[in-house]
Chain A
Amino acid sequence: EAGVAQSPRYKIIEKRQSVAFWCNPISGHATLYWYQQILGQGPKLLIQFQNNGVVDDSQLPKDRFSAERLKGVDSTLKIQPAKLEDSAVYLCASSLVRGQPQHFGDGTRLSIL
């Protein structure tokens, strides 16, 4: 089966600019997650969707981050405006249902200048 697809792989922007990341989960996976991984740290959950509804966004900085999952398939994560501390790898993951192992994409590496 095809894995989780993410784009772009790399993005360089200046602080205060906006950026968007795209994720296509494994076909049939109802649950989708966005994680932020800062260098030297483990992935940190930002938001979790069940189909097209938000299950948990308690760690999403809502003043600058937003995410949506239209039609319960693809998802986008947006940062506006970006800050220097947002430099990280943004990982998307999906699972068949909640409680099943999550499968990760290769991530988008974001660098803020």
Chain B
Amino acid sequence: DQQVKQNSPSLSVQEGRISILNCDYTNSMFDYFLWYKKYPAEGPTFLISISSIKDKNEDGRFTVFLNKSAKHLSLHIVPSQPGDSAVYFCAVGGGAGSYQLTFGKGTKLSVIP
């Protein structure tokens, strides 16, 4: 029973265009949401986060959107660059004082020059 779902295993985008990665979660108690980026043979790198009191957080080319009613979050990368090619993991946590993170299976993004 997956609590966090990333339904697209892979995504290809042209350089300069927008990349949109999606994530759905099941537990409305989650209140802390993060995106991690992972290159091969390296550990995940923290990218951006958002708490449940906000619906948008922006950091340079990266923006995370949270729709609590739909239990959905997305990561927008604009403009996409070849160096953004990596696996992106959505992670959710919090609720009832817990700080445990639950990760999705990841989406492999390929940015084509």
Contact = CB atoms under 8 A, between A and B. Distances in A.
A40 B106 CA distance: 8
B105 interface: yes
A82 to B, nearest CB: 22
Interface in A24-60: 31, 40-45, 48, 56
A104 B44 contact: yes
In the complex, which of the residues A42, A45, A48, A91 has the most CB atoms of chain B within 10 Å of its own CB atom?
A42
Interface stretch (B11-19, B65-73, B74-82, B96-104): B96-104
* Dominant secondary structure of chain A at its interface with chain B: loop
A42 B43 contact: no
A3 B91 CA distance: 20
Given A91-B43, A102-B101, A104-B43, A42 B4 contact: yes
Nearest to B99: A98
Interface residues of B, number: 23
A45 B101 CA distance: 7
Contacts of A107: 43
A83 interface: no
A45 B43 contact: no
Nearest to A103: B46
A91 B45 CA distance: 12
Contacts of A44: 103
5 contacts: A40-B105, A43-B103, A45-B100, A48-B99, A101-B49
Given A42-B89, A48-B99, 9 more contacts: A41-B105, A43-B44, A45-B100, A91-B43, A93-B43, A98-B99, A99-B32, A101-B46, A102-B101
